[in-house]
């Protein structure tokens, strides 16, 4: 439903969907909230602010042409900054004030608004907007504190899962050895069934109507439930299905949740029957010496075998490859072996291949190890060349999977 009005003579459009609502002021300032009234995003010209449920606000913008209309630039020109609480508060407050100004205008000058033909929709829109107007920085802080009481930090998700409902069956990563990774600081642990049930019902209650925006999938976290044997995994999934109100969205997870304790075809079938639809695998590279260099457990052969086993029972797969890993020293072999590994996985329509640029995170071991080994990092054009070389070597029997870039610095949950 669309609702149009005027704010101080400026046209404003409100939009109410089944998942979210938004207000746009003369198409220059757009704010979106979920149906629970939680701020989701703010957009102004080339500037975007994206708020996560954890209260973090990620600010993205393009350097040149600031404030001069919709200039679309390349992925690599985008700048990003996670705002401090003090920097984020004015953004959250401005969004709340925008909703309050629209409500005031609806009250004071209802004749200037159209879209009231359906009184029920008009009433629902106003009610929802009232919740948005209440979601100022104080309310947002309280909401983030509630979130923190339910969740351990959500380290990372695949980009198509940023709007999933994350349910944490495990904490931390049982590997913790990859030298480029700084995603998990918790000791690895599997929740008891009782703890997991309490977590799931707590999350469902916390999300309330906000769940509508996130109903496309449930992401079973965290990074790695590697040590979870099948009977325990099945118990956890059954708990999930009994606690989430139906219809239960399809389940997603990182592959490490299902390896380690080796799974066979019957196991994957059982997981699929419990709602698992797609699994993501951080292949990083198909070149085993590079995996050993960055201390990533497993081999390309094992990854191929796992993916093929999951594809055989109809699961979809998302494969994540790291661009620039191992710098110049490993580049040629990384390209050859990674392309060969992806080609051997039997991927096709419905599957995904993500190309994620290596981000050298301060405090991780990788930068020093690479420096000690005289591994020269790839610059931007070399990373582009590596990506193109890799893409050019990929071939698929039928319709190909989807390809996308993936920047872990854009992750917000
Ligand atoms: S890259 Fe994945 S497997 Fe490696 S330490 Fe990080 S979360 Fe664990």
Give the residue extent of every domain in the chain: 2-136, 151-410
How many Å apart are CA 269 and CA 380, to the nearest integer?
A: 42
Can you tell me which atom of ligand 1 is nearest the CA of 177? 5
Rounded to whole angstroms, how far apart are CA atoms 181 and 369?
13
How many Cα atoms are found within 13 Å in the side-chain-facing hemisphere of 49?
Answer: 23
68-74 — which CB contacts under 8 Å span 24+ positions? 69/45, 70/45, 70/46, 71/46
Q: What is the pLDDT of residues 364-382, one digit of tens each?
A: 999 999 999 999 999 999 9
pLDDT value at position 68?
Answer: 42
Instruction: Answer yes or no: are the C-beta atoms of 346 and 311 closer than 8 Å.
Output: yes
Q: Which atom of ligand 1 is nearest to the CA of 223?
A: 7
Strands (E), 151-197: 165-168, 170-171, 189-190
Atom of ligand 1 nearest to the CA of 256: 3
- Which residues' Cβ are closer than 6 Å to ligand 1? 173, 175-178, 181, 183-184, 223-224, 256, 282, 296
Number of alpha carbons in the 13 Å side-chain half-sphere of residue 188 = 14
Question: Coil, helix or strand for 83?
Answer: coil
Chunked mean pLDDT (size 10), the chain, 413 residues = 90 95 92 98 93 97 57 66 96 98 93 83 94 98 98 93 95 86 85 95 97 94 68 91 92 71 80 93 96 93 92 96 97 98 97 96 93 95 96 96 94 95
For residue 74, the model assigns a pLDDT of 57
Neighbours of 403 (CB within 10 A): 14
Q: Which atom of ligand 1 is nearest to the CA of 282?
A: 2
The answer to whether residues 35 and 387 touch, using CB atoms and an 8 Å cutoff, is no
Cβ neighbours for 305, distance < 8 A, ≥ 6 positions apart: none
pLDDT above 70 covers a percentage of the chain that reads: 94
| Substitution candidate for ligand 1 out of 172, 183, 363 with most atoms within 8 A of CB | 183
Please report where in the chains the tokens 């698929």 appear, as a residue. Answer: 396
**Measured between alpha carbons, how far is 278 from 28 in angstroms, rounded to an integer?**
37
* The predicted structure's pLDDT at residue 256: 64
The rounded distance, in Å, linking the Cα atoms of 364 and 334 is 21
Whole-number pLDDT of residue 257: 47
Could you tell me the CA-to-CA distances from 72 to 80, 104, 200, 406 in Å, in that order? 16, 35, 40, 18
- Among 296, 299, 363, name the best residue to mutate to test ligand 1's pocket (greatest count of ligand atoms within 8 A of Cβ): 296
Rg (CA), the chain: 23
CATH class as words, domain 151-410: alpha beta
């Amino acid at each position: 439903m669309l609702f149009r009005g005027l704010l101080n003579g400026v046209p404003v459009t409100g939009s109410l969907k089944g998942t979210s609502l938004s207000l746009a002021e003369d198409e220059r300032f757009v704010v979106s909230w979920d149906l629970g009234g939680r701020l989701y995003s703010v957009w102004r010209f080339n500037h975007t602010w994206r708020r996560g449920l954890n209260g973090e606000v990620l600010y993205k913008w393009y350097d040149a042409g600031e404030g001069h209309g919709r200039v679309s630039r390349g992925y690599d020109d985008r700048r990003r900054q996670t705002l401090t609480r003090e920097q984020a508060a004015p953004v959250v407050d401005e969004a709340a004030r925008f909703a309050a100004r629209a409500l005031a205008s609806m009250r004071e000058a209802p004749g200037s608004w159209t879209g009231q033909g359906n009184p029920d929709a008009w009433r629902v829109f106003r009610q929802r907007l009232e919740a948005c107007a209440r979601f100022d920085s104080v309310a947002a802080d309280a909401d983030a504190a509630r979130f923190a009481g339910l969740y351990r930090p959500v380290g990372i998700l695949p980009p198509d899962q940023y709007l999933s409902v994350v349910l944490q069956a495990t904490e931390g990563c049982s590997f913790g050895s990859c030298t480029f990774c700084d995603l998990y600081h918790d000791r690895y642990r599997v929740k008891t069934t009782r703890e997991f049930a309490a977590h799931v019902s707590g999350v469902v209650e916390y999300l309330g109507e906000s769940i509508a925006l996130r109903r496309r999938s449930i992401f079973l976290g965290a990074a790695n439930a590697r040590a979870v044997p099948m009977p325990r995994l099945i118990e956890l999934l059954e708990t999930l299905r009994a606690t989430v109100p139906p219809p239960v969205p399809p389940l997603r997870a990182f592959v490490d949740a299902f390896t380690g304790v080796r799974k066979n075809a019957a196991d994957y079938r059982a997981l699929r029957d419990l709602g698992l639809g797609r699994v993501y695998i951080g292949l990083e590279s198909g070149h085993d010496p590079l995996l050993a260099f960055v201390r990533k457990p497993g081999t390309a052969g094992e990854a191929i075998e796992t993916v093929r086993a999951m594809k055989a029972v109809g699961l979809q797969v998302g494969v994540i490859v790291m661009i620039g890993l191992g710098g110049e020293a490993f580049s040629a072999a990384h390209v050859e072996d990674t392309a060969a590994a992806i080609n051997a996985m039997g991927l096709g329509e419905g599957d995904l291949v993500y190309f994620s640029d290596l981000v050298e995170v301060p405090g991780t071991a990788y930068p020093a190890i690479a420096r000690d080994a005289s591994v020269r990092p790839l610059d931007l054009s070399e990373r582009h060349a590596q990506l193109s070389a890799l893409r050019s070597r990929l071939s698929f029997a039928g319709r190909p999977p989807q390809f996308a870039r993936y920047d872990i610095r854009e992750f917000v949950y």
